[in-house]
Chain A
Amino acid sequence: SAVISQKPSRDICQRGTSLTIQCQVDSQVTMMFWYRQQPGQSLTLIATANQGSEATYESGFVIDKFPISRPNLTFSTLTVSNMSPEDSSIYLCSVRAWGGDDEQYFGPGTRLTVT
């Protein structure tokens, strides 16, 4: 298993600003992902964070809006840039550990409100 922490746990931000969310894992993992979840809704995959190279973004998400870093096997950041109220959501970091059954472990999430 993997224990994941995210910072901040929540934030209220003004329109037009940017927020960087950090994801720290207690062990080295193969893959790291970023998801977005509106309250009461499903999870939408934003991108796969690749170590040492550019992230792989899903349709509808672009690097300029959601730049992602992954400098090593245990840490990643997601930045939400030039925020608008539509970006208000819960952002979840998820990882896949070495070996195992491809199960994904999720962080506690970052609740973002944009005013």
Chain B
Amino acid sequence: GQQVMQIPQYQHVQEGEDFTTYCNSSTTLSNIQWYKQRPGGHPVFLIQLVKSGEVKKQKRLTFQFGEAKKNSSLHITATQTTDVGTYFCAGSILIAGNQFYFGTGTSLTVIP
């Protein structure tokens, strides 16, 4: 089946530092989505990227889709304690019926 890996698995940062998580797929993706899951909560949709090389920004968050549509990244500038949680990418391939398969996730801890 489709495999979507994320690195790092865990990241501890001091509040105010930047954070980046990388998502890599074994196959070319149609779209990629990013979700955030707070401890004890359920995943919450952040954004979807569709085009090769696409970059989208949401305040301190920058999302990028690779040129080959096999990788993506999420960068958070100047982390805050509210950024704590696990960030998942989720990729879809059209021939699979457009279901989204979740990456392994990166757990972010922000130290105040």
Chain A residues with CB under 8 Å of chain B are 33, 35, 40-45, 48, 56, 58-59, 92, 101-109
Contact = CB atoms under 8 A, between A and B. Distances in A.
A108 B100 CA distance: 19
Contacts of A107: 42
Size class of the B contact interface (CB-based, 8 Å): 20 to 34
A96 to B, nearest CB: 9
B97 A56 contact: yes
Contacts of A42: 88, 102-105
Contacts of A92: 42-43
Interface in B1-43: 1, 31, 33, 42-43
Contacts of B90: 104
B105 A102 contact: no
A78 B92 CA distance: 23
Nearest to A48: B99
Interface of B: 1, 31, 33, 42-45, 48, 88, 90, 92, 97-105, 107
A92 B43 CA distance: 10
A104 B42 contact: no
B31 A102 contact: yes
Contacts of A35: 102
A103 B45 contact: yes
A67 B81 CA distance: 41
26 contacts: A35-B102, A40-B107, A41-B105, A42-B105, A43-B88, A44-B102, A45-B99, A45-B101, A45-B102, A48-B99, A56-B97, A58-B1, A92-B42, A92-B43, A102-B31, A102-B33, A102-B48, A102-B92, A103-B33, A103-B45, A103-B48, A104-B43, A104-B45, A105-B45, A106-B42, A108-B42
